[in-house]
A and B are shown apart, each in its own frame.
Chain A
Amino acid sequence: MRRRLLGRLSGAVASLWVLAGAAEAPAGAGGAAEPCLRLPYVYTKWKHFTTENGLPNDHVFAVRSHENDLWVGTENGLALIDKRRGEVVKVWREKDGLPFQAVTGIDVDPQTGAVWLGLFGGGLARFSGGRFDHWHQLNSGLVNDVVYDVVVANDSVWCATTAGASRFDTKTGEWAIFTEKNAPMEEIWNYAVDYDPQANKIFLAVWGSGVLEYDLATGRWQEYIDPDGEMEIDLYRDDGINHVIVTGVTAIDGVMWVSSYFGGTRYDGRSWRGFPDIEGGLPSLFNNNVRGRTAYEAWYCSDKGAGAIVDLDPETWVQYTRDGKTGYAVVKQRLRPEDKTLATVEVIETGLNVPHTFVVNADIEGDDVFIGTSHGLGWGIGEGYYPRLKERPRMGRARAERAAPGGVSAPAPK
């Protein structure tokens, strides 16, 4: 099984060489001390939640951490995890008042503590004071009941729906709808929404219309679409969003992180940076979402594990994946700027990290990360977390390889 996973990662490795000083033995396994390299923090301590320890359903669609509360939206119910106790303390299904079984978006209003829920076919719900309030197409200005994502921005709640975006003013009760009529949406299939409080802007990830940025102060739109305009190719690297079908967006520290089923993209306001799977950093082209942590770190939710890009200088990724009963963190780095692919510089057997390789959603709070997958939730506990890179010895099996252009570098099996 392990061999199969690693073999899959290996792809078409045409040539490889071991870097000078990069022994195959685990660090500290005798011999001369290994030199310290600039390496990222790697999550090695994880908690897991499935139906076996309280989740209402294993298919996790949404996760949101807010102080001590960890809210988990699944395909059949909502769960609350008490982070101090480290356990599921409450579950709601439809019979408990949850307006619809599938919860695809969650956000918490920092002012009121109200929990807002995007319901996959059930509209929008607010959980407050132990009660669910429910808005849908027939009783409100919600443009569609298929809500993929929800975010609280000041006094408003924004919903990304399959037929446009809706904004609900929680003070006045007024609704606004954004579709092709009043926004630059060539298509109206909204997939995700994010709010950048620093910039006071809303970011919509729209399937077929790229990313739309809405300035709350001016009411102006800015669109970001694939510059080549073609579905079947990405013409140039780093020229913009790599595909018009966008699945997720996070704006943080002046940087926009974008996910799609065709890779990932970063934009800092001046330059674009594309992340295709063929370079070996991003685990897969197929990315369900992205959660940015800083201008340098973002977690991509792919169908082949979580891919955390943790620095750009040099470009460094940590891929979290599992195989059978255990998990691996694979550190990838672009060793020289001219290298076309990233090399594997560290492979750490972490024990189980992400519960399943099909990652759907992620959230980050403080030093911890929370990974929703199609079979359970993983909580990465960031003891001693540090951002970007720092010099440290390798923690586990260490090996560096380089793939031929177009191939994917990866660790070789034992």
Chain B
Amino acid sequence: MRLRMFLAVALLLGAGCAVVEPGEGAAEAPCNEWIPFDHPKLVELLRLIDVGDHFETPPLEIRKDDNYAGTPADVEPFSGTRPFNEFFLKQMEYTGPGRAEPEPESLESVKIGFIGPIMSTVSVATGGKSHEEALGIPMLQGARLALEQWNERGGYLKRKIPFELVVSNDNGLWGASGNEIIKQNYRDKVWAILGTIDGANSHIAIRVALKCEVVMMNTGDTDPTFIETNIPWVMRNIGDDRQQSYLLIDYAYRKLGYEKIGIIRASNRYGRFGVREIRDSARRLQKPVPVEMAYMVGQEDFELELSRLRDAGVDAIVHWGNAVEGALILNQMRAMGMRQPYLACDRCAHPDFVAIAGANAEGVVCGYPWNPESRNPNLARFRAAYRERFGQEPETYAAHAYDGMNMLIWAIQAAGLNRAKIRDVLAYLPEPWPGVTGDIQLSACLDDVGDVYLARFENGDWNYYSRADLDIPKGYIPPRDRVSRVAEETAQK
């Protein structure tokens, strides 16, 4: 352990980033690109998980969140009823034998898997044709940049061998991602995996990851159900559609006072699950969505769907789907004389949307999982490095993949080449991860519960606003789980 620390210090100092050992004083400014390897909580965790045999489960504290996903009481499902049981509040445990596995002796590189939509193909699951390459390629680039930077710092510090990215295309056919993860696990023998974007493929991938016992870091799938599976090997570092929907709901209903919102969405898993919290929250706020229309990915004429929305007399329209369709819908809507405000998912806060929508984009508001205008110095460094490496500006998927890959590699550096310990280190982060997308705080079920934002297109550009920036009211979030809340409320009365 001490040797590892020493190597880390030496090499990271060489890279211009100091790690301060306890008791040595802060001679140099501490690095804020990752959590220091000598963080006392990390050191203690590593001691605890250094088990003696395959049968010992370390006595790790089981964290319990007070509230699932920061859900306001008035949009909780069945809020008038005390549920028999509530899930996802207690930290998931890994009780298997993996921690006792020794590091393999002869390795030429430390392989990390990447799985994402990077090649165009036909896809039944995602609505007829693949459509996520525009997201997957930046995701790959962000992951690649992080890995290359760690290799510049010396690779896997303990053994002085490089990291290697094993790239698989997540081609959209249901089940393909499962085969790819099997291959990465058994043939390539990766130590952790980063991916995917499509919700269906993600679910398939995580079931395989669970069986193979390998960490799956998700940086691009905002499907709320992705994490609602109780798999201790799965984590996500991007604010999901549930979080974004809560903010959109608060903005539309609590701040702007809309009464009737219509939904138009892609007829795929992304659209179907993306709007679920919007639809359910609206109903629970006594303002049910009168019309929800679905369209096929790649569709170009939306007159039928829009006429139904127009006839319903909605105050505003929420769109959940890709940027191109989102812009086409907006244009057709305006051409039909529909002047309703247009709210959308984060995929529409994209240059493609603006290019197609033109002047119609003005005033569009999208949920957004992070603030790309943050003055975070890590973000500035990342932007510069990404521009230099790929000749383009990084976007959401690149930035989150960069953070995700940094988290994985940091965990490998700290835990060594042991999948279970890599999981432990990530599951028990000593403090929020200082990412380029902001502080990444994982919930007990290892989901990112950090702040999300609204992106508003104003005067030809996207501007990003926090809840506080726009003074958006929030529903009451009880500080207690639902099962025991009733007793507490009774006592208060």
Residues of A within 8 A of B (CB): 1, 4, 8, 58, 61, 101-102, 104, 120-121, 143-146, 161-164, 187-189, 191, 207-208, 228, 230-237, 242-243, 245, 261-263, 274, 276, 278, 285-286, 303-304, 322-324, 356-358, 374-375, 406
Chain A residues near B78: list those with CB within 8 A: 228, 230, 233, 235
List 9 contacting pairs A-B, 8 Å CB cutoff, sorted by A.
A1-B56, A163-B175, A231-B228, A233-B87, A242-B85, A263-B85, A286-B230, A357-B95, A374-B213
Contacts A242-B85, A358-B97 hold; do A121 and B230 have CB atoms under 8 A apart?
no
Q: Is the CB of A207 within 8 A of B87?
A: no
Most A Cβ at <10 Å: residue of B69, B207, B208: B207
Report the count of interface residues on B (CB-CB < 8 A): 46
Checking B179, B213, B231 against A261 with a beta-carbon cut-off of 8 angstroms, the contacting residue is B231
Inter-chain CA distance A208–B98, complex, in Å, is 28
Q: Is the CB of A374 within 8 A of B96?
A: yes
Contacts A1-B56, A262-B230, A358-B95 hold; do A207 and B175 have CB atoms under 8 A apart?
no
Q: Is the CB of B186 within 8 A of A237?
A: no
Shortest distance between the CB of B241 and any CB in chain A (Å): 13
Q: Is the CB of A232 within 8 A of B95?
A: no
Q: Is the CB of B483 within 8 A of A406?
A: yes
Chain A residues near B207: list those with CB within 8 A: 162, 189, 191, 207
Contacts A104-B211, A189-B203, A189-B204 hold; do A228 and B77 have CB atoms under 8 A apart?
yes
Cβ-closest chain B residue relative to A181 = B124
Cβ-closest chain A residue relative to B93 = A303
Cβ-closest chain B residue relative to A325 = B55
B57 on the A face (CB < 8 A): yes
Inter-chain CA distance A232–B98, complex, in Å, is 29
Q: Is the CB of B83 within 8 A of A234?
A: yes
Chain A residues near B85: list those with CB within 8 A: 233-234, 237, 242, 262-263, 276, 278
Checking A1, A61, A304 against B95 with a beta-carbon cut-off of 8 angstroms, the contacting residue is A304
Q: Is the CB of B77 within 8 A of A261?
A: no
Contacts A146-B175, A189-B207, A375-B97 hold; do A233 and B55 have CB atoms under 8 A apart?
no
Chain A residues near B211: list those with CB within 8 A: 61, 104, 120
Chain B residues near A58: list those with CB within 8 A: 54, 97
Checking A101, A102, A233 against B83 with a beta-carbon cut-off of 8 angstroms, the contacting residue is A233
Most B Cβ at <10 Å: residue of A4, A230, A263, A304: A230
Q: Is the CB of B88 within 8 A of A232?
A: yes
Shortest distance between the CB of A281 and any CB in chain B (Å): 14
Inter-chain CA distance A374–B477, complex, in Å, is 40
Inter-chain CA distance A143–B98, complex, in Å, is 32
Contacts A232-B87, A233-B77 hold; do A261 and B229 have CB atoms under 8 A apart?
yes
Chain B residues near A189: list those with CB within 8 A: 203-204, 207
Contacts A146-B208, A357-B57 hold; do A262 and B87 have CB atoms under 8 A apart?
yes
Shortest distance between the CB of B458 and any CB in chain A (Å): 36
In chain B, residues 448-493, which have Cβ atoms closer than 8 Å to a Cβ of chain A? 482-484
Chain A residues near B387: list those with CB within 8 A: none
Q: Is the CB of A235 within 8 A of B178?
A: no
Q: Is the CB of A235 within 8 A of B83?
A: yes
Shortest distance between the CB of A267 and any CB in chain B (Å): 17
Most B Cβ at <10 Å: residue of A1, A162, A230, A231: A162
Inter-chain CA distance A143–B204, complex, in Å, is 14
Inter-chain CA distance A304–B55, complex, in Å, is 11
Chain A residues near B483: list those with CB within 8 A: 406
B81 on the A face (CB < 8 A): yes
Q: Is the CB of B86 within 8 A of A232?
A: yes
Checking A1, A121, A143 against B183 with a beta-carbon cut-off of 8 angstroms, the contacting residue is A121
B12 on the A face (CB < 8 A): no
B68 on the A face (CB < 8 A): yes
Chain B residues near A161: list those with CB within 8 A: 175
Shortest distance between the CB of B186 and any CB in chain A (Å): 6
Shortest distance between the CB of B64 and any CB in chain A (Å): 11
Q: Is the CB of A146 within 8 A of B179?
A: yes
Cβ-closest chain A residue relative to B231 = A261
Q: Is the CB of B96 within 8 A of A358?
A: yes
B182 on the A face (CB < 8 A): yes
B374 on the A face (CB < 8 A): no
Inter-chain CA distance A165–B109, complex, in Å, is 38
Inter-chain CA distance A163–B213, complex, in Å, is 20
**Could you mark each residue 203-238 of chain B with 1 if its beta carbon is under 8 Å from any beta carbon of chain A, else 0?**
110011001010000000000110011110000000
B174 on the A face (CB < 8 A): yes
Chain B residues near A262: list those with CB within 8 A: 85, 87, 230
Checking B55, B81, B86, B230 against A375 with a beta-carbon cut-off of 8 angstroms, the contacting residue is B55
Most A Cβ at <10 Å: residue of B68, B78, B87: B87
B337 on the A face (CB < 8 A): no
Chain A residues near B96: list those with CB within 8 A: 303, 356, 358, 374-375
Contacts A146-B208, A232-B77 hold; do A285 and B230 have CB atoms under 8 A apart?
yes
Cβ-closest chain A residue relative to B483 = A406
Checking B54, B69, B86, B230 against A233 with a beta-carbon cut-off of 8 angstroms, the contacting residue is B86
Cβ-closest chain B residue relative to A146 = B178
Chain B residues near A243: list those with CB within 8 A: 87
Shortest distance between the CB of B480 and any CB in chain A (Å): 13
Cβ-closest chain B residue relative to A236 = B84
Shortest distance between the CB of B104 and any CB in chain A (Å): 15
**Could you mark each residue 90-126 of chain B with 1 if its beta carbon is under 8 Å from any beta carbon of chain A, else 0?**
0011111110000000000000000000000000000
B59 on the A face (CB < 8 A): yes
Q: Is the CB of A4 within 8 A of B59?
A: yes
Inter-chain CA distance A233–B213, complex, in Å, is 26
Further pairs besides A233-B78, A236-B83, A237-B85: 19, Cβ < 8 Å: A121-B182, A144-B175, A144-B179, A145-B175, A162-B207, A164-B175, A187-B200, A228-B83, A231-B224, A231-B228, A232-B77, A233-B482, A234-B86, A286-B93, A304-B95, A324-B55, A358-B97, A374-B97, A406-B484
Q: Is the CB of B204 within 8 A of A162?
A: yes
Inter-chain CA distance A8–B61, complex, in Å, is 11
Cβ-closest chain A residue relative to B224 = A231
- Give the top 8 A-B pairs by smallest Cβ distance, nearest first: A163-B175, A121-B182, A144-B175, A261-B230, A233-B83, A231-B228, A146-B178, A234-B85
Inter-chain CA distance A137–B199, complex, in Å, is 22
Q: Is the CB of A120 within 8 A of B77?
A: no
Inter-chain CA distance A4–B95, complex, in Å, is 14
Cβ-closest chain A residue relative to B59 = A4
Shortest distance between the CB of A317 and any CB in chain B (Å): 18
Inter-chain CA distance A375–B96, complex, in Å, is 8
Shortest distance between the CB of A98 and any CB in chain B (Å): 13
Q: Is the CB of B186 within 8 A of A101?
A: yes
Chain B residues near A375: list those with CB within 8 A: 54-55, 96-97
Chain A residues near B86: list those with CB within 8 A: 232-234
Shortest distance between the CB of B255 and any CB in chain A (Å): 26
Shortest distance between the CB of B225 and any CB in chain A (Å): 6
Shortest distance between the CB of A227 and any CB in chain B (Å): 11
Inter-chain CA distance A243–B84, complex, in Å, is 12
Q: Is the CB of A162 within 8 A of B175?
A: yes
Q: Is the CB of B178 within 8 A of A163?
A: yes
Checking A61, A276, A322 against B55 with a beta-carbon cut-off of 8 angstroms, the contacting residue is A322
Shortest distance between the CB of B207 and any CB in chain A (Å): 6
Inter-chain CA distance A1–B182, complex, in Å, is 35
Chain B residues near A276: list those with CB within 8 A: 84-85
Shortest distance between the CB of A198 and any CB in chain B (Å): 30
Inter-chain CA distance A101–B81, complex, in Å, is 49
Inter-chain CA distance A164–B207, complex, in Å, is 14
In chain B, residues 297-314, which have Cβ atoms closer than 8 Å to a Cβ of chain A? none
